[in-house]
Amino acid sequence: MELENLIAYLFRWMHFFAGVIWIGMLYYFNFVQTEFFKETDAGTKSAAISKLVPRALWWFRYGALVTFLTGLALAGFLGSAINFYLIIGMLLGTLMFLNVWLIIWPKQQIVIASNAQVLGGDQALPEAAKALAGAGLASRSNALFSLPMLFFMGASAHLTGTGRLPMSADDGVSMLAVILTLVIIAGLEINAIKGKVGPMASVVGVIHCGIGLAAALLVIAEFL
């Protein structure tokens, strides 16, 4: 067994482990907690925000961090073998990581602090409602991104097609496909920052949107 291969595999193993934690917590927030908060009473919700949510967010954000860092290490090992499918997955994963640390976590800190003030008998922070909405939009967008991210991460090693060819290949994806893919993903990320939830408001809606996005990006990569 070559040491370099062992090191690469260990990074891949850590990447999978951290990724399961991160995406698992993402789906918990979007598919379980959010729906529960819509139905429960104010006291239960307040207690959960005080005691449960901070713990869940710790695993969520550090799972994202370790997934991202080990992913960078794996990209370094792959080098010129990187293909377009993998690039799509990496781009979506990177945006998801940035959304966690630059949008979701800072805004959730405001929500948690506001909840603590209410529990202490003070008024809620005036910016808490806007922060909660912003965190929710970014989280829903991450759930949207996660489906094509997982699809193309797997496709990079298991699905035949133009997108699996190395980017240096002459018969690889077209420049039009690259540009259109970047435009679509950039537009969705802009919406995640300051747009609207739209059809992603429901669990079924965000799953359908994620499947649709994966299908659209696959068609672009293979047929344009």
Cα(77)–Cα(120) distance, integer angstroms: 51
Spatial distance between the Cα atoms of 87 and 94, rounded to a whole number of angstroms: 10
Neighbours of 29 (CB within 10 A): 23
- Segment 86-133, tens digit of pLDDT: 999 999 999 999 999 999 999 999 999 999 998 888 898 999 999 999
0.85 surpassed by pTM: yes
Structure-block tokens of residue 66: 């370790």
CA atoms within 13 A on the CB side of 51: 7
List per-residue pLDDT tens for the chain, 224 residues long.
688 788 888 999 999 999 999 999 999 999 999 999 999 999 999 999 999 999 999 999 999 999 999 999 988 877 767 789 999 999 999 999 999 999 999 999 999 999 999 888 889 899 999 999 999 999 999 999 999 999 999 988 888 777 777 665 566 788 899 999 999 999 999 999 999 999 999 999 999 999 999 999 999 998 88
**Are 223 and 165 in contact, with CB atoms under 8 Å apart?**
no
Q: Give residue for tokens 């999978």.
A: 16
